[in-house]
A = this chain, B = another copy of it.
Amino acid sequence: MFRTHTCGELRISDVNKQITLSGWVQRSRKMGGMTFIDLRDRYGITQLVFNEEINAELCERANKLGREFVIQVTGTVNERFSKNANIPTGDVEIIVNTLNVLNTALTPPFTIEDNTDGGDDIRMKYRYLDLRRNAVRSNLELRHKMTIEVRKYLDSLGFIEVETPVLIGSTPEGARDFVVPSRMNPGQFYALPQSPQTLKQLLMVSGFDRYFQIAKCFRDEDLRADRQPEFTQIDCEMSFVEQEDIINTFEGMAKHLFKTLRGVELAEPFQRMSWSDAMKYYGSDKPDLRFGMKFVELMDIMKGYGFSVFDNAAYIGGICAEGAATYTRKQLDALTEFVKRPQIGAKGLVYARIEADGTVKSSVDKFYTQAVLQQMKEAFGAKPGDLILILSGDDIMKTRKQLNELRLEMGSQLGLRDKNKFTCLWVVDFPMFEWSEEEGRLMAMHHPFTHPKEEDIPLLDTDPAAVRADAYDMVVNGVEVGGGSIRIHDAKLQAKMFEILGFTPEKAEAQFGFLMNAFKYGAPPHGGLAYGLDRWVSLFAGLDSIRDCIAFPKNNSGRDVMLDAPSAIDQSQLDELNLIVEMKENSN
């Protein structure tokens, strides 16, 4: 037997017991004739003691142990003279009798400590060592606990977890598919699912009533911090429900997770906001409501006074940063630089301080009287000491998005985005379609199976761009943690939707015929939602990137640098698949 206890288990009540432990050498130190070793496993750290006077040979062997050696010891539990209140085993130590080296270890390329000296690249290459760090492992432990709580909640409500296939058909609508050549069906390809969307809808047609799955999803997109080529969804679908039923069910799940995993009781119903209000007041479909700074539109107040930037703008809007009138010229210049960065793209920034006496001191004082500036101040409800920041532009939506970036930056600068405070929001009434410049056609904002709002259905024929959908997103602290919709369950309406999206009937049939056909055999009204598991874990763990809650993540080039994947494959594999690789001139 390799151990009688783990390294996190022994307490003062175990004193004098003969025990066996196995684990890794965390650190070692000599003091007088004694050698102390911290032995580590997943469960904790226990101090081992070797006494030169009692057993010189054993102590000498202990002195030769390197960091991360794997050892097994037997010994007696002893009460520590100087206790360590920081760890649960801190009252005891082990007087070692026998030492068995189970495996040696090279010196790790970075220190296995909470604050490691290893950079991102080296930690990813040696991910198996990085995962030894408490800070990383605890994220994965949280992930494990979250899936337990998710399943507990959904099972209690009668949801059935159903595994849907990973090898399905390719559907060009949406993001880019990963494809898998089929050997048995030469020249044909499977695709990996971007989500189990159509399959879960088929399960509703099957009468499964309440389905869920913690499902791997795949998108071949260019990557960034919160995206991975494979990610995990808590995918859910319900029959005989309206939007309100789904929102209640999954708001309940969110509250259950907050309570069980973060100890946060969220008693009130979550706020709700229409998509158009979210865009109008926050310039984002996922506003961070941990702080205010709601947008105020100033077109009525500030146009027509000869300031051509504003006079020619389609949109003038601003935010009021409480107490930020202390911002120096240098800080304001930095904010101006911030909004002018190419990825934000504003032309400039207008600011106004509210002085102690209530007067307004702005960067555009030469164009506006104090009376107009006071009107502006009133519009914001600004107080002495506040700072007003204003952007303007030709394109209303673009300018709002710029103002959103400024608002988030100010929230961060003013310390208003506390990772331990959580503000949850449902964004509802999304538009059904959005115009794609690239494709030159309307695209489904959620997906082509989303149900239009009943009252907007007539607009499908006359003004499809104005149609709103029964679609909803949950946003926590400015992160979209999930979303869903009521689905179309009527074959004719689904066919019409494909038509508006520019599918020929043949293309719709080829790609989604199975679904439209299924709808002809008695499809119930249904709808659902998917939560992003990676995002929820990141949010609860306070991580900046979903990568840190994934055991073996990929880098921005989609590579697993530890496995060195992807890689070239054998010619025989290509031959069996009837494939030839032909590199383009400019690729690589």
Contacts and interface: CB of A to CB of B under 8 A. Distances in A.
Interface stretch (A46-54, A497-505, A561-569): A561-569
A218 to B, nearest CB: 7
Contacts of A184: 220, 222, 557-558
A519 B105 CA distance: 8
A70 interface: yes
B192 A180 contact: yes
Given A22-B524, A522-B105, A560 B137 contact: no
A573 B163 contact: no
Contacts of A40: 207
B560 A41 contact: no
A554 interface: yes
Interface in A184-212: 184-192, 199, 202-203, 205-209
Given A22-B240, A566-B169, A206 B521 contact: no
Contacts of A229: 167
A205 to B, nearest CB: 5
B180 A131 contact: no
Contact of A209 (B41, B190, B209, B245): B41
B207 A132 contact: yes
A164 interface: yes
Nearest to A184: B558
B216 A163 contact: yes
Contact of A187 (B2, B563, B568, B576): B568
Contacts of A582: 578-580
Interface stretch (A147-155, A347-355, A389-397): A147-155
A293 to B, nearest CB: 38
Contacts of A62: none
Contacts of A552: 164-165, 199, 202
Contact of A104 (B131, B522, B576, B581): B522
Interface stretch (A171-179, A446-454, A540-548): A171-179
Contacts of A554: 165, 167
Contacts of A147: 161
Nearest to A561: B514
Nearest to A181: B179
Contacts of A490: 103
Contacts of A489: 102-103
A141 interface: yes
A419 interface: no
Contacts of A514: 562-564
Nearest to A580: B580
B129 A144 contact: no
A567 B186 CA distance: 9
16 contacts: A2-B240, A2-B525, A68-B522, A102-B489, A102-B524, A103-B519, A131-B207, A132-B206, A137-B206, A165-B551, A166-B166, A167-B565, A169-B563, A170-B565, A190-B566, A216-B216
What 9 A-B pairs come out closest when comparing CB atoms?
Answer: A105-B522, A169-B565, A131-B206, A2-B240, A188-B566, A68-B522, A182-B566, A186-B587, A580-B580
